Amino acid sequence: MIEFLTAPWDFAFWQRAFLVAAMSGVVCGVIGSHVVLRGMAFIGDAVSHAVFPGVAVAFVFGFDLVVGGAVAGVITAVLVAVLAQNRRLKEDSVIGILFAAAFGLGIVILSTAPGYSGSLESFLFGSILGISDQDVTNVAVIGALLLLVAVLLHKHLVAATLDRELARSVGLPVFALDIALYVMVTLAIVISLQAVGNILVLALLITPAGTARLLTDRLGVMMVLAPIIGGVSCLVGLYLSYAFDLAAGGLIVLVVTGVFVLAWFFAPKHGLVARMRARQAQLV
């Protein structure tokens, strides 16, 4: 058992993979908690696809794919925040419109570059075993900054989530907080792309936070549980990938989903078993 746990660390590429996976899981757990509290899981899906045109442009012109995706994602996130200020349109409608437009633009751009599918495979499905030392540094720096901002804005973000009108009345800059949260979501997604890929990144952002939401009623505890669940799930998924030679990104998502299913059944207060027992007690 000890040998199984230590063997992957003998290889530099596995060391980098474990570090990036753990950092991605932790950051997504923290940022995802705010996303789940606001009931805006769709923004994670939209932003993860909105980075597509930026990646396409970066590929066509030979730039860094992650940088291109980050720029496109931030632009889209800001547009969502701006357009959602019109009360005639709900936030999910604006997200849907921009998501479809961004993805369509990405497809058009890529159609001008033959032979792109293989080069973008890592973007779509993740390439955690191909991460470089520079990638580790980038994820560490961006992740640390995101966690710092999340801590500094925590109370204001929660206030804007629970009661936007009250937050406005006490002078909180709700619009600026919206933009800040959208940008944080975008950057959390971008640093996680190499771990699980564009297609599966929503699971890493939402599922740990959703699991923590089932396990506790206390916001502070949720903010601690979500990154722990995300980070540990990433590490377990990587170990399973090492043991069975299967896709790391897919296994990470399956592990974190498995933890969610267990919580859905067995959470002490909000799990299916606990709720059934409570109903039986009421009947008696």
Confidence check: pLDDT of 1 > 80: no
The reported pLDDT for the residue numbered 69 is 82
pLDDT bracket for residue 154 (50, 70, 90): very high
Quote the radius of gyration of the chain (alpha carbons, Å).
20
Per-residue pLDDT for 117 more than 60?
Answer: no
pLDDT at position 89, please?
Answer: 61
Fold annotation for 16-283: ABC transporter involved in vitamin B12 uptake, BtuC (1.10.3470)
Structure confidence at residue 116 (pLDDT): 57
Q: How do the domains of the chain map onto residue ranges?
A: 16-283
Higher pLDDT, 141 or 93: 141
- Residue 114: pLDDT above 80? no
Q: What is the pTM of this model?
A: 0.88
Measure Cα distances from 262 to 84, 147, 211, 232, 277 in Å.
36, 28, 9, 15, 17
d(CA 208, CA 235): 14
Q: At what angle do helices 91-110 and 65-83 cross, to 10 degrees?
A: 150
Calpha distance 261→143 (Å, rounded): 28
Distance of alpha carbon 275 from alpha carbon 284, whole angstroms: 14
Question: pLDDT per residue over 219-250, tens digit each?
Answer: 899 999 999 999 999 999 999 999 998 888 89
Dig out the tokens for 217 from the structure: 């009623």
Tens digits of per-residue pLDDT, 45-59? Answer: 777 777 878 877 887
User: Taking the CB of residue 34, how many other CB atoms lie within 10 A of it?
Assistant: 22
pLDDT at 91 over 80: no
Amino acid 169: pLDDT:
93
